[in-house]
Amino acid sequence: MMESGTDGARDPAVLVADDEADIVELVRIVLGRAGYEVLTAADGERALEVARERRPALCILDGAMPGLPGFEVLARLRSFPETKSIPVVILTATVDEEREVRRHGVIPELFMKKPFGARRLLREVARLIG
């Protein structure tokens, strides 16, 4: 079993942050069935708190969440020593969101377009966690 977080005893934790509850639930089910511990947040502020507290193996962030969007969460994660190396996937609905992320000078490990398939999600999560 892979280790994650600070205690090393749990399955790898993946943080999923999206203001669309259906997407969070879909990702939670898919990753949970694959053996991942799934942490969730409905907004960017909470995602940042969870990431700093739990240090997940991977963060999946909605690029266009209201308040603190995923690209801003990504920039802040990269600014903290304890979270700067966490791989990040940005979920996007449009190319404009990708441009916005790049404009802020932070590049995630992966952009994933909505809608996305469960198989691709699992494959990319496994690849990024290693």
Q: Count, in order, helices (H) and strands (E) of the chain.
A: 5, 5
Average of per-residue pLDDT values in the chain: 89
Domains contained in the chain, CATH given: 13-129 (3.40.50.2300)
Residue 95: pLDDT band (50, 70, 90) is low
The pLDDT of residue 80 is 96
pLDDT in tens, 37-55: 999 999 999 999 999 999 9
Residues 54 and 3: beta-carbon distance below 8 Å: no
Q: pTM, whole model, 2 decimals?
A: 0.88
pLDDT in tens, 5-25: 444 456 899 999 999 999 999
Laid out side by side, the sheet with 37-41 consists of 37-41, 13-17, 58-62, 88-92, 110-113
The CA angle 83-86-88, to the nearest 5 degrees, is 120
